[in-house]
Chains A and B, each alone.
Chain A
Amino acid sequence: AQKVTQAQTEISVVEKEDVTLDCVYETRDTTYYLFWYKQPPSGELVFLIRRNSFDEQNEISGRYSWNFQKSTSSFNFTITASQVVDSAVYFCALSEEYSGAGSYQLTFGKGTKLSVIP
């Protein structure tokens, strides 16, 4: 069965520091998809990125970057020059191509709460 582990429960950084959020996953499928979502205090889950298992290229979007390494089953997320608005809970999630009735249901980690201190 699939599993996502986010070992860091809470992280606090001072504004402008870089921070990396770790994500380790387990799956038996060869085709799968990895996601990061942000959940601000308002509660809505905001999609950040999707990665498929065949694309190991790192990705950068502004201050955000993602490092996908199949060899270590990790999909880590780095925020450069953090800002107070980055304070939120961040979830890593996994979707398998052959899960259930083709639902592509997401399996989430427990999340990492990031606090950026001004």
Chain B
Amino acid sequence: DTGVSQDPRHKITKRGQNVTFRCDPISEHNRLYWYRQTLGQGPEFLTYFQNEAQLEKSRLLSDRFSAERPKGSFSTLEIQRTEQGDSAMYLCASSPNTGTYGYTFGSGTRLTVV
């Protein structure tokens, strides 16, 4: 296992378009997280899955955002009707079920909305 994989690495889209990102966690990790990082800031929590169940969502996750983790393996994050304010690095992370040992982060997907 090579760690957490995210695809694509970069995405440029026009305002108003929909985009979808994919995350493949470490295979034995039950927990999966999405974070967003804007320029000059630390990552901010978006949502959390335990297996296929989405158990927590941040207030940052507006109605235009939706995340899924079918079958408890990979996850997708979709943004509908993108806005320029959505431009950011979207980071995925996974961790073992204990949750206290920190995460392994992926390299992120950098989204630019023009």
Which B residues are in CB contact (< 8 Å) with A109? 42
B103 and A42 contacting across the interface, CB-CB below 8 Å: no
- Interface residues on chain A, number (Cβ under 8 Å): 28
Q: Write out, one digit per residue, whether chain A residues 39-57 have a CB within 8 A of any chain B CB (1) or not (0).
A: 0001111110010100000
- A-binding segment of B18-26, B62-70, B72-80, B106-114: B106-114
Q: Write out, one digit per residue, whether chain A residues 105-118 have a CB within 8 A of any chain B CB (1) or not (0).
A: 11111110000000
A62 interface residue (CB < 8 Å to B): no
Which A residues are in CB contact (< 8 Å) with B56? 100-101, 103, 105
- Interface residues on chain B, number (Cβ under 8 Å): 27
B41 interface residue (CB < 8 Å to A): yes
Known: A44-B107, A104-B99, A104-B100. 17 other contacts (CB 8 A): A37-B105, A44-B105, A47-B102, A47-B104, A47-B105, A95-B100, A100-B56, A101-B48, A103-B31, A103-B48, A103-B55, A103-B99, A104-B31, A105-B33, A106-B35, A106-B43, A110-B41
A91 interface residue (CB < 8 Å to B): yes
Cross-chain contact of A50 among B35, B45, B102, B110 (Cβ < 8 A): B102
Bound-state Cα–Cα, A33 to B99, Å: 10
